[in-house]
Amino acid sequence: MSVQSSHGHTHAKGPQSLRLTKGAKKVLEVLERTEELSSAQDIHVALRSEEESPPGLTTVYRSLESLVQFGLVQAVDFGDGERRYEMVKPGEHHHHLVCEKCRDSVHLDQCLVQQLEESIQAKYKFEVRGHILEIFGLCENCQNAMAATGKK
């Protein structure tokens, strides 16, 4: 990994070089060890409880913005008003199966949309640049739990 501190070093890849600021570094640390998706506020809370002098919420937002732009982090939209973030393999992205009951999510290994880009291009003459895709439902556990107790 060639991401470095703000002391002059920049990441080699990406559309534009990233200067990893102090705040962004801490944000990334939180995401690095977090399995689930985290909102900006989640991250802020986490930092507050473990850093002697935690970055402010504003800095968390700014850090996320640059990390996303840089391709190290992806923003995920569940359609509730709160964006969530998670680390991704640099430049990659993926989607989720989100359980509406327990809120746990399965990280899908392949993107359904990417493999359709050419056909969309061909059929609609539309140049695909991005997309959002998240699938909601019930995970196996919650299906069973539901079957055990009352329905619905």
Partner DNA sequence: TGGCAAATGAAAACCGTTTTCACTACTGAA
Partner DNA sequence: TTCAGTAGTGAAAACGGTTTTCATTTGCCA
Binding residues for Mn ion, rule: CB under 5 A, are 86, 107
Partner touching 100 among Zn ion, its own copies, DNA, none, CB below 5 to 8 Å by kind: its own copies
Partner touching 138 among Zn ion, its own copies, DNA, none, CB below 5 to 8 Å by kind: its own copies
Residue bearing tokens 């992205």: 93
Residue 57 binding DNA, by CB under 7 A: yes
Are 85 and 68 spatial neighbours (Cβ–Cβ below 8 Å)? yes
- Cβ closest to its own copies, residue 12 vs residue 116: 116
C-alpha angle 127/128/131, rounded to 5°?
160
Phi, psi dihedrals of residue 6, rounded to the nearest 5°: -80, 5
Residue 78 binding DNA, by CB under 7 A: no
Going by C-beta distance under 8 Å and a sequence separation of 6 or more, which residues neighbour residue 12?
Answer: 2
Residue 111 binding Zn ion, by CB under 5 A: yes
* Cα 135 versus chain centre, distance: 15
Partner touching 107 among Mn ion, Zn ion, DNA, none, CB below 5 to 8 Å by kind: Mn ion
- Cβ closest to its own copies, residue 50 vs residue 126: 126
Taking the C-alpha atoms of residue 71 and residue 18, their distance in angstroms, rounded to an integer, is 10
Minimum Å gap between C-beta 93 and Mn ion is 9
**How many other CB atoms are found less than 10 A from the CB of residue 92?**
9
Residue 17 binding DNA, by CB under 7 A: no
Applying CB under 5 A, which residues contact Zn ion? 111, 113
